[in-house]
A and B are shown apart, each in its own frame.
Chain A
Amino acid sequence: MNETYDLRSEAESHIEVHKFHAGAIVFTLVIIFFLQAFLPQYFHSLAILDLPLLVTIYFGLSRRNPSTGLLLGMAIGLIQDSLSGPTVPFGLYGIAKTIVGYLASSIGARLDTEHPAARFALTILFFGVHQGILVLERRILLAQPEVWFSLHLAIAALINAVVGVFLFTLLDRLRKPS
């Protein structure tokens, strides 16, 4: 994952590709996974947040490189799998976040995703895609019953989108000045 790598196509040259300071992504991932594992211990309701997904979306939208996005998503997903205990097989979150990373960078390459409203809507969209892929995996690959939709998931999507808007603004500070 080369933070300065840029794969913009000529057709998409009008959309800015953001570069990050060296180690910013790794540092962000460490912090995010620490918070994801740590916060619910003290604030149980914060377990509803999927911070790794938000980071996947953010870096996908910012880097606008599908290959980088899907690889970063896969790495984040596999780390999440490995931290989720033995009940979650390797690849469950990995596949979901690989696809989300790919979609986010593909969309980011075609749209301007800097506006908070766009970020809010895209986060809800990707949360739904992520959840849908998880349900498919559980139902098809693992033969586990899983609901497609619930009120809890809808609330989780909204909360993650709201948090995402603020988190993305915070992560914008890690960008190199253009």
Chain B
Amino acid sequence: MVGVPSRHKSLFLLGAMILLQVMMLAYQIRRDSQGRLLRVWTVGAISPFERAGSYGIGGVKDTWGHYFALQNTSRDNEQLRHENDVLKLQVMQLQSRVSEAERLERLLNFRQAQQQVPMLGARVIGWGADSGTRTIYIDRGEHDGVHRNMGVITPDGIVGKVIESFANTSEVLLITDKDGGAGAMLADSRIQSPVGGTGEPLLEMKYVANDDDVKVGELAVTSGMDRIFPRDLPVGTVSEVKPGNPFKWIRLQPAANLERLEEVIVLTTLQPLDLKKDTVAPDANRTAIDDPAAQIKPASPALPSTKPGTQKPGTEKPAADKPKAPTANR
């Protein structure tokens, strides 16, 4: 800096440095350059300290959080366990509700499809105490218009018939009971034969001649001859066929899941009925039943009230008061 007075030296230096940086700025803008090399150097110089600091602080926080600041951990753990238990219980309850809703939806669909048929939703409230007989108790009785010999079904198939009717309860004999049964026929071949219970989970089809052709997997439906069940309700599927003397030995798997009944439908008429076939097809299992909200008595406060007085008009009337359905094909 020859020729520059020392007292102006710093001012000159200031001007030079600013000019240099302005030119650097102008160069960056013109060339669209960001001085990558300088940035790499600077970041490379600073980042090790940042990384070390980050690890250091992270380590301190981790150590503090996991080893020292644990005064509430036990209490938190206890509370979380309790919450977990409560949530598990809620999940189970919700799963049960979903399952129930699905069943009721099928009942409702069935009911809507069979509006001309007098029927009544009922909840299974107990099983027969005698292991030798297969009976259930439902929460509908004489006050609801349920009488002896009325048919009990589910959207999947027939269940049994009412054998005793009390004031608010009825006893139903399942078709799998030794004394249970129904008039049936094979859906394809139209061979008619009564189906009876064996006291076991499977049904037996009686009186089918050895000459008749019966295939495993064939569907058996109600024939309507017993004057309890309408025609063409699923009874079961042939699961085993053997030649016998003098008739074939035929076993059927019941269409309705009789081991896990929770809601059923009582056909509140003893007159012959004619159900729409499309709602009772074998795996229409997954399509059917009645107005559960209006007809099934609540098992818990969460379900709507279904006292007779609050039920929909026309859905609770005793069979005798109901108009008869057409009885064609009988």
Contact = CB atoms under 8 A, between A and B. Distances in A.
Interface of A: 9, 30, 33-34, 37-38, 41-42, 65-67, 70-71, 74, 78-79, 82-83, 86, 89-92, 94-95, 98-99, 102, 106, 137, 141-142
Contacts of A70: 10, 13-14, 17
Contacts of B10: 65-67, 70, 102, 106
A8 B93 CA distance: 86
Contact of B34 (A34, A74, A86, A137): A86
B35 A82 contact: yes
B29 interface: yes
A9 B10 CA distance: 13
Nearest to A30: B49
B72 interface: no
B25 A83 contact: no
Contacts, number: 89
B38 A90 contact: yes
Nearest to B11: A66
A167 to B, nearest CB: 18
B46 A33 contact: yes
B168 interface: no
Nearest to A73: B17
A89 B25 contact: yes
Interface string B172-197: 00000000000000000000000000
A38 B35 CA distance: 23
A41 B14 CA distance: 35
Given A70-B14, A71-B17, A89-B34, A141 B22 contact: yes
Main DSSP-derived SS at the B contact region: helix
Nearest to B40: A82
Contact of B17 (A33, A74, A83): A74
B54 interface: yes
A141 B46 contact: no
Contacts of A37: 46, 50
Among all A-B residue pairs, the 3 with the closest Cβ atoms = A66-B10, A82-B42, A91-B21
Interface string B1-36: 000000101110110011001101110110000110
Contacts of A42: 57
B14 A98 contact: yes
A177 to B, nearest CB: 27
A171 B110 CA distance: 86
A78 B22 CA distance: 12
B43 interface: yes
B39 interface: yes
A41 B53 CA distance: 12
Contacts of B7: 9
B46 A74 contact: no
Given A78-B21, A82-B39, A92-B25, 19 more contacts: A30-B46, A33-B46, A34-B46, A37-B50, A38-B57, A41-B54, A65-B10, A67-B9, A70-B14, A70-B17, A74-B17, A74-B21, A82-B35, A90-B24, A90-B35, A91-B24, A95-B18, A98-B18, A142-B25
Contacts of A9: 7
A53 B159 CA distance: 88
Contacts of B34: 86, 89-90
A90 B18 CA distance: 12
21 contacts: A30-B46, A33-B46, A34-B46, A34-B49, A38-B57, A65-B10, A66-B13, A67-B9, A74-B21, A78-B42, A79-B42, A82-B39, A89-B34, A90-B35, A91-B24, A98-B14, A98-B17, A102-B14, A141-B26, A141-B29, A142-B25
Given A37-B50, A38-B53, A90-B35, A141 B13 contact: no
A68 to B, nearest CB: 9
Nearest to A7: B10
A36 to B, nearest CB: 9
B25 A90 contact: yes
B18 to A, nearest CB: 6
In this complex, the member of A42, A90, A92 whose beta carbon has the largest number of chain B beta carbons within 10 angstroms is A90
Nearest to A80: B42
Given A67-B13, A82-B42, A98-B17, A38 B50 contact: yes
